[in-house]
Structure 1
Amino acid sequence: MSSVVAITDENFETEVFTSPKTVLVYFWASWCGPCKLVSPSIDWAAQTYSDRLKVVKLEVDPNPDAVAKCKVEGVPALRLFKEKEIVASHEGAIGKQALQAMLESNLTS
Structure 2
Amino acid sequence: MNDKKFVDALFCELFEANFLHYKTSLTQPADNQQDAYGKARNALASLNDSQRMEVIDFLKIVMADSASVILGTLDGVHFPNDLEGEFTLSMNGEAIEGDLQDLFIEKAQKDNVYG
- What TM-score, normalized to structure 2? 0.26
Higher strand share: 1
- What TM-score, normalized to structure 1? 0.27
